[in-house]
Structure 1
Amino acid sequence: MPYNTGRPISDPTVTFYTTSMTHQLHCIYMMARTFSGVVLNTTEPLKENVLREDWHFHFMHCVDYMRQAVMCSADLALEPHKPDDWHEEALDPAWNGRHVCKDYGAVTKYLEEQVDDGARVVLAIDD
């Protein structure tokens, strides 16, 4: 998620929660942003907050967090690999595996409604 896109918490003394899903998406976004910065040789914090000052620590946190997420979800969908799958043109994004997925739109709608109704202090988008 882009920097500062989460909902602001009006009282900094209140404990708030995020979901693992949104934290994981935040980590993917942050890791991609950091990778791009490293490739472009722009790892210094930029005015637009493209990279945070603690980018290296944050990147390593996200790598470990995503490792834990993969191990926790332990998706056992079988993914067939054909002998010619290993070149770029042959890669299927899902590798022809069948996955059982949750409805992402329904999840984010529910989280937004919970926050809007004041039922929970949950950030639907984790920044």
Structure 2
Amino acid sequence: MASELLKTRLLFFFTTLRLPRRGKLTTSTYLAILGIGIIAIVTIVVTLILQRSRAGPRFTVYPLPSLEATKSKPFLPDYKYWNLSSSHSASAWDVLGRHGDVLIPSSDLDGYGLPRGLETSVDGYDGFPLSAFHQLHCLKSIRKHYVALQSNTPIVDSVDNHVDHCFDYLRQAIMCSADMTLEKARVDPDGHRRRVDGWGTMHKCRDWGRVREIVEERRQI
């Protein structure tokens, strides 16, 4: 790509350069043209080097398969996540966000501009959680804390500081993804449209099943 850009700029320079008629070129003219050409080449090369240095590594994250948000999905109530006192609901929440780490060869980290990941039991590999799973983990922690407060149950794990972290982490995650879907109004029994609950609105989503598959593929060595 850079070599093609260099060729294009040089071609433009020499095709737009107006030379004197044949027989009228002097030594000083030749030297002037040569000097201008060298300056042009040096300028272009320096510009390309600076652009590359500012661009940083080729990848800023490990190249997972491209997965665009192309699945149309309505947001609808799923009551297995609603009941705070139900063991069935607790089990459903417990599954979410579990096993969301991928293993990456430690020798590949520098090449992809990655910092060190989590220590793992697999020699030569670092572990990296996908942000979506971290977000679900945080939501589970907040729910666990809320359920304990609602039922006056002592919290065995000290999660206070973790919950504080989770509120801010989820805030930033929501603002980062910034879903700009327009949500329709809810029609009240009296026919008025005063509220929005988000249900029934279509969103463009990533296929969560495929996300899980990608993670599972990279949990195996």
Instruction: Give yes or no for TM over 0.5.
Output: yes
Q: Distance in 1 between matches of 2:163 and 2:130?
A: 19
Q: Distance in 2 between matches of 1:93 and 1:111?
A: 32
Q: Distance in 2 between matches of 1:95 and 1:22?
A: 23
- Determine which structure has the larger helix proportion and give its number: 2
For the pair shown, which has the larger CA radius of gyration, 1 or 2? 2
What's the CA shift for 1:70?
A: 0.6
Which letter maps to 1:23? Answer: H
State the percentage of identical aligned residues. 32
Equivalent in the alignment of 1:65: 169
> 2:146 is matched with which residue: 22, 26, 35?
35
Q: Distance in 2 between matches of 1:12 and 1:38?
A: 42
Alignment of 1:50-61 (within 5 A): 52-53=157-158, 55-61=159-165
Equivalent in the alignment of 1:113: 217
Structure 2 runs not aligned, ≥5 long: 1-92, 102-118, 190-194
What's the CA shift for 1:82?
A: 3.6
- The alignment partner of 1:107 has SS state of helix
Structure-2-length-normalised TM-score = 0.41
What's the CA shift for 1:65?
A: 0.9
Structure 1 runs not aligned, ≥5 long: 46-51, 86-90, 119-127
Distance 1:69 1:38, change over 3 A: same
Equivalent in the alignment of 2:129: 18
Q: Distance in 2 between matches of 1:44 and 1:29?
A: 14
Where relative contact order (Cα < 8 A, 6+ residues apart) is larger, the structure is: 1
What's the CA shift for 1:83?
A: 5.7
- The alignment partner of 1:16 has SS state of strand
> 2:206 is matched with which residue: 102, 113, 116?
102
Residues 42-62 of structure 1, C-alpha deviations (whole Å, 9 max, x = no match): 2331xxxxxx22x11111111
| Residue 188 of structure 2 corresponds to residue 84 of structure 1 | yes
Equivalent in the alignment of 1:122: none
Equivalent in the alignment of 2:39: none
- The alignment partner of 1:75 has SS state of coil
Residues 17-63 of structure 1, C-alpha deviations (whole Å, 9 max, x = no match): 10011111111111111100111122331xxxxxx22x111111111
- The alignment partner of 1:99 has SS state of strand
Q: Distance in 2 between matches of 1:20 and 1:34?
A: 21
